Amino acid sequence: MIELITSGESHGKGIFVTIKGIPSQLKIDVDFINNELSRRQIGYGRGGRMKIETDRTDILAGIINGKTTGSPITIAIWNKDYENWKDKKTPPVLKPRPGHADLIGAYKYGLTDDIRQVLERSSARETSGRVAAGAIAKLFLKEFGIEVFSHVVNLGGIDINTSSMNYSEIRERSEKSNLRCAAPPDIEGKIKERIDIAKDEGDTLGGIIETIVHPIPPFLGSYQSYEEKLDALIARSVLSIQAVKGIEFGLGFKYAYISGKNAHDEIFFDAESKKYFRKTNRAGGIEGGMSNGNAVVFRSVMKPIPTLMSPLNTINISTKEGEKAITERSDVTAVPACGVIIEAVTAIEVANALLKRYGSDNLNQILKNFENDLDLNEFKWK
């Protein structure tokens, strides 16, 4: 089983991640990992920190001669901004931001003398470690032909309709966009205008990201125990990302407005290929906690970032007087970047589910187990 732990602070020496459970013999493409880290940093509406940091992977353990050894992998992502902060004397932060971990975190851990001790760790900079780990999981999944990608379907309240596009078109168009969306130019222009207005007003914007795992074989996950359900595992990981407040699979909340006849994916059998298939994917590729051969499709909502340049009202925890919340260097929106983080944590969960069915300590043996799974031949999933 793949497990990981991150450490480090936003303005400390770096962000560190140790990944346990990656099988041996997996070829590691450092350029691919660095590109994933770069994707996390770009996007229209990002703030000044992205101009300082250019995240790069520094592999400290677990990889020899470009391949995994089966031992834990440790990666460092050094903070360039550390040099600007290491000797800097900063006044204590005492004005918690509404919507952030500041107030409750300070009291929970007895850090009320300086809230900066909370915000340094609760910062979304921590996710760079998860993106690096997710990149390794993506490299593992590529060995089985499994791909994970995301695109923005709403930003700042403006919807993006991709119903007429196939997955390849969505992915190609969104990867070329600095909004990470497949919107036509006029819609992109409206979104950027809304971002610009929010920036001028000292405000922030949220949005919705759709994530797609395609192709993905059936049988990943299980109905036998609640903790093995693939959708539950994905949901837990996605909701652990800073500022993500909701997730829905397939039709999601639309299920409340339709009847059963319109809610489920009928099962067919192609006599020529001798395979089961579905004509629809209302379930989002998961039934009973298991992948069913259709693409896994889900949407996640990210709230507006709580660090505002036009701050909200709060209480100074020292004086107990009303003041404006602190302002920190921040983004107007990080919705495009959030999609990259969602891809990373999703890749880890899918990789774990695949290892559960085909697992071994050695990639070559896992591939043999996968290729010898005759039940896969009964389903259309590629």
Domain boundaries along the sequence of the chain = 3-378
Residues 6+ apart with CB under 8 A from 127: 40, 241, 242, 341, 344
pTM equals 0.97
Contact assessment for residue 246 and residue 256, using Cβ atoms and an 8 Å cutoff: no
Residue 120, both tokens: 């340094």
Q: What's the CATH architecture for 3-378?
A: 4-Layer Sandwich (3.60)
**Tell me: the pLDDT tens digits for 47-73?**
765 555 689 999 999 999 999 999 999
What pLDDT, on the 0 to 100 scale, is given for residue 330? 81
Closest alpha carbon to 124 in 354, 359, 382, 303: 303
What pLDDT, on the 0 to 100 scale, is given for residue 83? 75
Residue stretches of the chain with pLDDT short of 50: none
Residue 186, both tokens: 């006029």
358/360 Cα distance (integer angstroms): 7
Closest alpha carbon to 211 in 334, 349, 38, 346: 346
Residues 6+ apart with CB under 8 A from 171: 149, 151, 212
